[in-house]
Amino acid sequence: MSWDWFSQFRKLHRPILELQPRDVTNFIEGTRNALNQEMDIREQAEDWLSRTEGDEAAEERRVLVIVSG
């Protein structure tokens, strides 16, 4: 199931009487999933950084990961 964060966000900005409980639930669940994915990416990056410590060839890539992360 594809989750379109922007369309869910727009639904939350409708008048309060038009909001359905599932709109809020979908938005919360989608946001939670996106945050979990972000945390997974950060954990993978930290793991990679710790494994490449002292590897001069990886130094430039390590800087790119830190700057973009």
What percent of the chain stands above pLDDT 90?
Answer: 1
> Between these two residues, 27 and 57, which has the higher pLDDT value?
27
Whether residue 61 is predicted with pLDDT greater than 60 in this model: the reply is yes
Domain, as residue range, for 24: 5-68
Domain count, the chain: 1
d(CA 47, CA 32): 22
> For residue 54, is it left (φ>0), alpha (ψ between -120 and 50) or beta?
left
Prediction pTM value: 0.48
